[in-house]
Chains A and B, each alone.
Chain A
Amino acid sequence: MADIREVLDNFGDMPILPDVVAKLTQLIASPRTTASDINEILSRDPSLTARILRLVNSSYYGFSRRITTITNAVVILGFNQVRNLALSAFIMDNFSVSKASGFDMKAFWRHSIGTALVAGHIAKGLRVKLEEDAFVCALLHDLGKSVMAMKAPEDMRAVLAVVEAERIVFHEAEKKTLDYDHATIGAALMERWNLPELMVEVARCHHDPESASEETRPLASVVNFADIIARSTLMGSAGDPFIPRLSPEVFERTGLNWPGVEAIMRRSALEYRESDLFFAT
């Protein structure tokens, strides 16, 4: 395996986390921060504010009344969720162009959105409260694929060719083709952006939750399972038309049973119809 920081450096300039998101992350860390502080920061970016409100009012959150201000959104969702929505919007906007890599970026983000919806529901059922983190970790779990499509289109084309020729899943094709993989690239970029360690580790371990630390393993398992459910309900495309095997350990760790899985599939499939809300208009 190559030195991942070196690989990332060779990819060239990467988008810099915008001030609004960086400032939100700083504010969240302070116990003195109030909802109006968050509102003040976000009001500097009206399009981001509008996008967050659109998402907050989607059926995923299912509020009976309309949320019309960021202050209300913060009170209802909490600081972390609002920051996560801002982060998600920034990343989806900045990693949406695939330079002739043969990788369908729109289908890719649809898959990521589907995975996030499913992960949110799986996490709701866990004893450990992971719902907030599950959604954003799942949305960004494959960030490395979009980085590859944008910054290393030849590598991406080579992996897709192996996927097709050998009829194997994307991450297995990577192992046969490259000396790095999307999971470590995505994690390295998140690390560079100083995102929370939990998020970084989930990105790195989402194909192999057993390799995650004891603390991160439940969330890595949620994202792993959510990815598999999103594929089985044909939500977008993760870059291959196949599905990885669901391990019994992951299944057990999420605490789900089959009726629970079916309920999540049905609910997420309905919510997925609103996935356009996540894209900039």
Chain B
Amino acid sequence: MPILPIASVRTGMTLSSDATRPDGVVVVTAGTVIDGNNLSRMRDLGVEAVAVRGGSSTRRARSQTRIHAAGKRPADDPAAVEDRLKRLAAMFSEHRQDPVMRELLRLAVLCAREGLVRG
């Protein structure tokens, strides 16, 4: 059962297990044929890798596979930091007008940039 990084997933492939966000919430269920809509949705919701039928099973593809990637990358990996900043932006998006939450986000971003936050 090949597992592909989301960047390598193409329309027409079929999910062989549920595609989940980093927090475990299912985004698209197993058995779904991937089309443009659900592919965008998986990308938008932070799915990083999926198990598919008919996809690549190369060693390189497997080595790139990280369903819960953020916690497994080195803390100072720029891509991991970027992932965390995106998660924080999405997390706080409902509170943009709230000064207390804006300050909390500022501190969280500071910690994330310094590699202290590893989730």
Name A residues whose Cβ lies closer than 8 Å to a Cβ of B: 102-104, 107, 110, 160, 163-164, 167, 228-229, 231-237, 239-243, 245-246, 248, 251, 258, 261-262, 265-266, 269-270, 272-273
Contact = CB atoms under 8 A, between A and B. Distances in A.
Interface string B105-119: 101101110001111
Contact of B103 (A110, A231, A242, A258): A258
Contacts of B117: 233-234, 269
Nearest to B75: A273
A163 B25 CA distance: 9
Contacts of A104: 23-24
B24 A237 contact: yes
Contacts of A248: 100
22 contacts: A102-B26, A110-B119, A164-B25, A164-B27, A164-B45, A232-B108, A233-B119, A234-B88, A236-B119, A241-B21, A241-B87, A241-B91, A243-B95, A243-B101, A245-B94, A245-B95, A245-B100, A245-B101, A262-B110, A262-B111, A265-B108, A269-B111
A163 B94 CA distance: 14
B20 to A, nearest CB: 8
Given A234-B117, A241-B46, 12 more contacts: A233-B119, A234-B84, A234-B118, A234-B119, A240-B25, A241-B25, A243-B91, A245-B94, A245-B95, A251-B100, A265-B107, A269-B117
A241 B90 contact: yes
B104 A237 contact: no
Contacts of A261: 104, 107
A237 B68 CA distance: 12
A243 B92 contact: yes
Contacts of B84: 234
A233 B117 CA distance: 6
A42 to B, nearest CB: 33
A247 to B, nearest CB: 8
A258 B105 CA distance: 12
Contacts of A236: 119
A160 B25 CA distance: 7
B88 A246 contact: no
Nearest 4 A/B pairs, CB to CB: A234-B119, A104-B24, A237-B23, A232-B108
Contacts of A237: 22-24
Given A241-B21, A246-B100, A270-B116, A232 B91 contact: yes
A242 B23 CA distance: 11
A164 B42 CA distance: 12
Contacts of A245: 94-95, 98, 100-101
A229 B26 CA distance: 25
